[in-house]
Amino acid sequence: MIYKSLDEILRAWIDKRQSDEKGKHSNDWWWASGLGMCRRKQFLRRLDIPVTEVKEYRISFLGEEGKAGHEWREKAVADMGVLVASEERLIDEVSRYRGRFDLLININNELVLVDIKTQRPEAFYRRAKLPVSQRVQWYQQMQLASYQYFASKKYPDIKESRIYYFDRGGGVREEYAFRFGPKMFKAVVDELKALNDDWANHIWPEIGTTAKWECKYCSWKSICKSVEKENLTINEVKKTYGSKENN
């Protein structure tokens, strides 16, 4: 293969890796990153419905930059002698939950779980202008709390969870700490129960209402419109839009 530019090589590498990984991982889970967001999107992903909106390469590139940032931070905390665990997969068969936390570290002799969020400059500063109580959105708190809830089964001494924002444009950082209690953990359990109940009963969840941008950037928004307009059942969506391997 003859390439004309570095960017073409990098795009080809992303395409190859995505092709190599296709089919290696089961979708039959509720992912931590979707908790507190649109439940219907969780259904469409779990049904393994191919996306209808083309994903821009810039999104893949930003994802790779985020991974690289995680790697050096992991090395840094390890070198400083405070790393307990990193990139650890969390699985709960009963609730069909799956997630992976970034870091578990020792701060002031306490176990602290950390989730790292790299953001575009405009997103970082738009969030930073909000009142302090609104700077960490509900779905991000839900995701973080789910990590602590399931990680505590192996690490019962976790005292605190933190979310660490990084502006990839200017290098500005913000860090927020949470000491979650039974109320927040119950919200996680209730969210998973609602997903599982609807799934078992073949009921489409309502469209997410947490933020308008969810619909704007959803990878299945055209299918979702068909669900609403034609009142399609889950089986009809799977038959019409599902991949050949799953029909």
Residue 217, pLDDT score = 76
Q: How many residues does the chain have?
A: 247
pLDDT tens digit sequence for 190-200: 999 999 999 99
State yes or no: pLDDT of 134 exceeds 70: yes
Question: Is 5 within the bounds of a domain?
Answer: no
Residue partners of 87: CB distance under 8 A and separation at least 6: 70, 74, 100, 101, 102
Residue type, 76: A
More confident residue, 14 or 26: 14
pLDDT tens digit sequence for 48-106: 888 877 667 888 888 888 889 999 999 999 999 999 999 999 999 999 999 999 999 99
Domain that holds residue 39: 29-246
Q: Which residue(s) pair with 83 in the sheet?
A: 105
pTM tops 0.75, yes or no: yes
pLDDT tens digit sequence for 223-239: 888 888 888 899 999 88
Handedness of CA 54, 243, 204, 43 (dihedral sign): negative
Question: Is 16 within the bounds of a domain?
Answer: no
Cβ pair 98, 90 in contact under 8 A: yes
CATH number at 181 reads 3.40.1350.10
Question: Is 78 within the bounds of a domain?
Answer: yes
Question: Is 9 within the bounds of a domain?
Answer: no
Residue carrying structure tokens 């469409």: 44
β-strands 97-107, 83-92: how paired? antiparallel
Residue 6, pLDDT score = 95
Question: Is 155 within the bounds of a domain?
Answer: yes
Around Cβ 196, how many Cβ atoms within 10 Å?
Answer: 15
Question: Is 2 within the bounds of a domain?
Answer: no
Question: Is 21 within the bounds of a domain?
Answer: no
Token pair listed for 112: 């602290």
Residue 154, pLDDT score = 97
Q: Please give the average per-residue pLDDT across 115-141, as a whole number.
A: 92
Question: Structurally, how many domains does the chain consist of?
Answer: 1
